[in-house]
Amino acid sequence: MGIGERLGTANEGLRPRPRRKPIQPRSAEGWLGSEPVLSQNIGPDSLKNNPGTIPMHDSSLHRRSLDTSGISILSAGILETIAHSYRRSEDISDTTGELEDFDKTWPQEQSQSLVRPRTFNAGTSYPCLIIQSNVPRAVNANAQMRMDYFTFILSEYEIHRLRKFFKPPPMPLSSGLTSRMKRSNTILGFMYLGAKVFEALNNGPKDTTWKCCKKWIANFDRQVTNHPAREPSVQESEDRLTGLLELAYLTFLVVDTVAGYALLKRARPLFLHLVSNYRDLCSERNGQLAVSLPRVLLTLRYEIKRFVFYDMMCALALGVMPVAEYDPGESPVVMYPPLPTEVFHGVPIEWILIIGHIHARTSNWRSLEAQILSWHPRVSDIWGEESVEARVCGVDSLDRRVQASVKQIVRLMEVVHDPPMDVHLSMPCIMAGIAARYETQRTLIYQKLLSFRNTHIWVLRGADFAPVLKHVWHGAGANEGAVTWGDYVNSRCALLPLP
């Protein structure tokens, strides 16, 4: 039995026809002129003017107009479908039920099949297969693309920034960055800026790249400073503080130490606003409210700890007081496991507390010296008593204890000389360079500091301090002369003046 005969059993008006030539495509005018079209004009005049038009409201006219005796099988099928659809529209209650039946045909559950067994078999002996669907109800392509974008930004940031840490960050920090990128366009923008700056500095021409990176940083600086006058929420303060600290780091990298320190000072109000929202991070000192240094170093708020770390390191390297006022608390106690500051930058937490005591002047120099001598760091004397002796005790570079520390740091520099690990010796190099007496020591320290530039920097750009040390050596330290902490501060003010 042919296909036409089988179709004839279902529709009496259709009969098998002899094989015709392929139907040639016709223009839109020819089709509309020979076949009925649907119209929304329901007036009687529309039938007189357009005899080939089927009004949408008259189903009896639909049935009379759909005469399939003289048209092809394809046209007859189309017209029969149209007529059937309009017959269904006459009963609104039936339409609702049919729509529900139609909805049930879709695979709302993952176990429901997309294709059902056919009730009509065209003579083939192959069994009908049921294809199971594992497609979820809805796939949000925009959300997936945004997640891929987050992953790309974070991976680029980790490659250029986080992997230069003393140790890789723990997984909670990486996941925390991802979640904060999702919630904040500020964090996403600054991380993207950091990834682009590192990429440009690694691949582009130096002169053009520096100008381009400085322009990017200036644009982001204007964005973060142009904020409403209203008091920001805690979350907004956290995001803006994180952005400013990242911008300060990029400014240390691209511009210089002075410009980066100026950005750090501008972040002070955000830092104090955040600390004021966590009363446990504050303590009373001399009748005034101060930031508790031990507590902020133990807090889970990474941006707060990062600000404190930057503040302490800048104060030590530049010879100035910290931006914020800290209460160092009791004598520093060795802590284990190490805090993120030590893990990321190789700086023991005990040393940060000692620096806090030096700036606060809450202990006499003999007490601080006893604390340092009782402290046994993992790398002996790299963060030893040299700075305390020179800054608090008033001794000069000729003191035997200071010279012992200089020799230890120089030996360590000769061992750890490969990047990127050597960048964590930036601060010890500066401290050792102040008291270095011999030309061999000074040459090694000077060349090492000059290498700490471009993308190979720690927190501060070590290359900015090489001219300062050279000024010290040719001034107070000429002919192996004694150098004091005041001599270093004077040279820094001459070569790196702060606004």
What is the per-residue pLDDT for 318? 94
Q: Report d(CA 321, CA 368) in Å as an integer.
A: 18
Number of H helices, E strands in the chain: 24, 5
Q: Report d(CA 461, CA 427) in Å as an integer.
A: 10
pLDDT digits (tens, 9 = 90+) for 288-297: 888 998 888 8
Which of 8-22, 127-141, 163-177, 180-194 is predicted most confidently? 180-194
Q: What is the pTM of this model?
A: 0.65
Per-chain mean pLDDT for the chain: 70
128, 138 in Cβ contact below 8 A?
A: no
Tokens of residue 423, six digits: 């960048």
358, 392 in Cβ contact below 8 A?
A: yes
Q: Is the pLDDT of residue 170 over 70?
A: no
Q: Report d(CA 205, CA 211) in Å as an integer.
A: 10
Q: Is the pLDDT of residue 242 over 80?
A: yes
Tokens of residue 472, six digits: 């010290």
Q: Is the pLDDT of residue 381 over 60?
A: no
- How is residue 111 annotated by DSSP? T
Q: Return the CA Rg of the chain.
A: 39
For residue 91, which amino acid is it?
D
What is the per-residue pLDDT for 111? 42
Residue ranges of domains in the chain? 3-92
Q: Report d(CA 454, CA 477) in Å as an integer.
A: 29
What is the per-residue pLDDT for 9? 45
- Residue 58 DSSP SS3: coil
Pick the residue with more confidence: 109 or 374? 374
Instruction: State the residue for tokens 């204890």.
Output: 401
Q: Report d(CA 412, CA 400) in Å as an integer.
A: 19
What is the per-residue pLDDT for 41? 43
Pairing of strands 282-285, 288-292: antiparallel
- The residues that bridge with 39 in the sheet, in sequence order, are 55
Instruction: List Cα–Cα distances, 44 to 32, 49, 59, 131, 315, in angstroms.
Output: 20, 9, 15, 51, 92
Of 310, 323, 224, 189, nearest to 232 by C-alpha is: 224
Q: Is the pLDDT of residue 464 over 50?
A: yes
Q: Is 295 exposed, middle or buried (0-12, 13-18, 19+ CB in 10 A)?
A: middle
Instruction: List Cα–Cα distances, 446 to 90, 393, 443, 452, in angstroms.
Output: 93, 26, 5, 10
Q: Report d(CA 381, CA 425) in Å as an integer.
A: 12
Q: Report d(CA 131, CA 113) in Å as an integer.
A: 6
Non-local (6+) Cβ contacts of 132 within 8 A are: 111, 113, 114
Mean pLDDT of 228-236: 73
Tokens of residue 299, six digits: 């807090």
Which of 24-38, 65-79, 265-279 is predicted most confidently? 265-279
Pick the residue with more confidence: 496 or 143? 496
Non-local (6+) Cβ contacts of 476 within 8 A are: 482, 483, 484, 487
pLDDT digits (tens, 9 = 90+) for 436-447: 999 999 999 999
Q: Report d(CA 318, CA 493) in Å as an integer.
A: 9
Q: Report d(CA 182, CA 150) in Å as an integer.
A: 8
C-beta neighbour count of 151 within 10 angstroms: 12
Instruction: State the residue for tokens 């609702």.
Output: 96
Of 169, 170, 166, nearest to 348 by C-alpha is: 166
What is the per-residue pLDDT for 468? 96
75, 100 in Cβ contact below 8 A?
A: no
What is the per-residue pLDDT for 348? 73
CA 99 to chain centre: 46
Mean pLDDT of 104-120: 44
428, 469 in Cβ contact below 8 A?
A: no
Mean pLDDT of 472-495: 92
- Beta strand residue intervals within 203-311, DSSP E: 282-285, 288-292
What is the per-residue pLDDT for 56? 44
Mean pLDDT of 327-353: 63
Q: Is the pLDDT of residue 329 over 50?
A: yes
Mean pLDDT of 106-120: 44
Mean pLDDT of 250-254: 87
Q: Report d(CA 145, CA 381) in Å as an integer.
A: 51
What is the per-residue pLDDT for 494? 94
291 phi, psi to nearest 5 deg: -85, 125
Q: Report d(CA 286, CA 2) in Å as an integer.
A: 105
Pick the residue with more confidence: 435 or 418? 435
Element (H, E) at 53: strand 53-55
Phi-psi region at 496: left, alpha or beta (left = phi > 0; alpha = psi -120 to 50): beta
pLDDT digits (tens, 9 = 90+) for 355-374: 888 877 655 667 766 766 66
